[in-house]
Amino acid sequence: MTAKLLQYKLVAFVLLLMLLLVGGFAMLHLRQFDRMTELWAQQLTEALHSSFRQELAQTQARYLYRAQGFVQTNREIVAAFVRRDREQLATLLEGKLRTLQREDAYFVALTLLTPDGEVFFCSRGTPPPSRNLGHLPFVRRALQQHPAQPLASLTRTTAGLSLAVGVPLSDGEQLSGLLLLQIRPQRELDRFARLHGIDSALFIQSDKLPASPLQQQEHSNGLVCVAATAQFPASVAQREQLLNATPNQRLSGADGASFLRLPALSLEGPDGARIGQLVSQWDVSHLRQDFCRSLRLALGLGALVLLAVSGLLYRGVGRLLRRLQRLHSELEQRVQQRTAELQQLNRQLEHEIEERRQVQRALEILSRQDGLTGVANRRHFDQMLARELAAARRSQAPLSLLMIDLDYFKQYNDRHGHLAGDVALKQVATALQQALRRPRDLVARFGGEEFICLLPETRLMAAAQVAERIRQLVRRLPVGGEPEDPSAAAPLPQETHLTISIGVAGLSPADAAGGQALIGRADAALYRAKQAGRDRVVIMPGPALEPD
């Protein structure tokens, strides 16, 4: 009886705990959904404002280009306007206006103004309330600026708010009038309404709006709605509620829909003054409905799981505990065994990694150094030559090469043996490294008994002086060696000397030759040194390089 009671209590405790967890889970997810909705609203607001500004800028640039091209390519229309021939002007503009309206549904009107702001021609079917637009800030600024230049801006007009593009028309140096194009600035607002369900409207301060019938729609806060997307609230009360709401405040619609009031975007006129604002609302009803539906489904499934878990706990909690204890013991043994195996594998891997590092270091050294002399090999020299040549091109610095060959080295080998020849090559390489101590100077074995030295930022005559110093150093260097058969011959005398021939070539900042051309010049200079009797330095100037 006690065991049965314990089972009941355990099951009841688990049920209560899971109910609390499910309730807390639901509340947390509702709050998380609200926070995510606000975050999405912030991101959509930033995207809407950025796209709105970008679309305005692109439309300004596009229509400025088109207006200027229109003026330059339609001289007959400009001439008819200068002559104030309204009938011919209407005839010439008829086809072009149809093209503009067909290409851009947001195009409003093409207006031609005289220098005093009087409307001479307007493509809109209904003329503006005032035949003189000179009082509008945009028109006044476009007509009065000197020198006359094209102008584009978001501006107030008698039709509300428009993206205005003005191009001065002149007859020689005399200003004849102004070509004014008006475009509705709500292309991006309609796109966001279609894609994201964000409805927006453009409001202008009533005191900034020219005399117009639109002032009859003025709201209590002094704003007039001049443009709106299709689903934006039409009633004055709903618009008042939206204008007075704070950013991210939730509002309820007439049909029970839920909206989120997005932060407004301030609108500025051509003079930089604030003229109105862009107000938007986001319909979040479907998002919350979908979320609540999914949450109810998850809670229902959770309730079924709770019932199933309760039955399992009631019927098999004891058996389950015993099995868990047995599995725990087996798992602990396996973990210990696997841990020991992994430790052994880890030690083996560390040993292999260290061996590979050593092999890699040895390979890196072999890939850069000559195995006999310890100086750079031909491959490493070619890489450094390309790098220094590029650096010399960028910094407009000189670059020099020394091509060095040991004189009569074959006879030296035949006489003293190859072991003595190897010793001589090593000692000459050591002498070259001691003579070139700058960090970027490079000594390399070019092949056989030939060495090559790379001297960055060194002019030709300075390189020749270095070459002469090297030649003297090697000439004073005593070179000894072992005979081919150590048991049959005595060591070589210490007064034995070697001589070298050196060819010097260089690149000046004006020289466009490449690395191989520079090597060819140094090799040609070395050849001349050999022909001239060896043990000397010969300079080979380039086509754009003269010794200084």
Q: Where do the structural domains in the chain lie, given as residue ranges?
A: 25-283, 378-540
- Cβ neighbors of 547 (< 8 A, separation 6 or more) are 460, 461, 464, 539, 541
- The arithmetic mean of pLDDT across residues 236-241, rounded, is 80
Distance between CA atoms of residues 395 and 277, nearest Å: 54
| Distance between CA atoms of residues 453 and 503, nearest Å | 10
Report how far Cα 153 is from the mean position of its chain's Cα atoms.
Answer: 30
For residues 169-186, give the mean pLDDT. Answer: 84
Q: What's the rounded Cα separation, in Å, for the pair 88 and 419?
A: 105
Tell how far CA 439 is from the center of its chain. Answer: 36
Q: What pLDDT, in 10s, does the model give residues 23-61?
A: 777 778 777 877 888 888 888 888 988 998 898 889 889
Residue 208: per-residue pLDDT: 60
Q: Identify the band that residue 227 occupies on the pLDDT scale cut at 50, 70 and 90.
A: confident
Report the distance separating Cα 393 and Cα 508, nearest Å: 9
Q: How far is CA 496 from CA 196, 325, 406, 450, in A?
A: 92, 89, 14, 20
Least confident of 90-104, 231-245, 481-495: 481-495
Q: What are phi and psi of 508, to 5 degrees?
A: -95, 170
On the question of pLDDT at 132 being above 60, the answer is: yes
Nearest to 276 by CA among 192, 190, 157: 157
pLDDT at 428 over 90: yes
Please say whether the beta carbons of 138 and 163 come within 8 A.
no
Is the CB of residue 90 less than 8 Å from the CB of residue 227? no
Quote the pLDDT of residue 239: 81
Are 497 and 532 in contact, with CB atoms under 8 Å apart? no
Alpha-carbon distance of 164 to 55, in angstroms, equals 14
Superfamily of domain 25-283: PAS domain (3.30.450.20)
Sheet with 160-171, side-by-side order of all strands: 119-122, 107-113, 174-183, 160-171, 151-157
Of 252, 243, 251, 246, the closest CA to residue 279 belongs to 243
| CATH 3.30.70.270 is right for the domain spanning 378-540 | yes
Mean pLDDT of the chain: 82
Instruction: Average the pLDDT over 416-427 and give the result.
Output: 90
Backbone angles phi, psi at 98, to 5 degrees: -60, -40
Cα-flanking dihedrals φ and ψ of residue 139, to 5°?
Answer: -65, -45
Higher local confidence (pLDDT), 84 or 285:
84
How far apart CA 115 and CA 81 sit, in angstroms, is: 12
pLDDT band at 485 (very low <50, low <70, confident <90, very high): very low
What DSSP line would sit under 139-158, residue for residue? HHHHHH-SS---EEEEEEET
Q: Is the dihedral of CA 377, 380, 383, 389 positive or negative?
A: negative
Q: Nearest 5 degrees, angle CA 51-CA 178-CA 71?
A: 80
CA nearest neighbour of 532 among 508, 498, 497, 503 = 503
In 10 A of CB 69, how many CB atoms? Answer: 11
Three-state SS at 179 = strand
Three-class DSSP category at 261: strand
* Distance (Å, whole) CA 481 – CA 426: 11
Q: How far apart are CA 519 and CA 451, in angstroms?
A: 12
Taking residues 285-308, what's their average pLDDT?
A: 77
pLDDT band at 308 (very low <50, low <70, confident <90, very high): confident
pLDDT of residue 547: 45
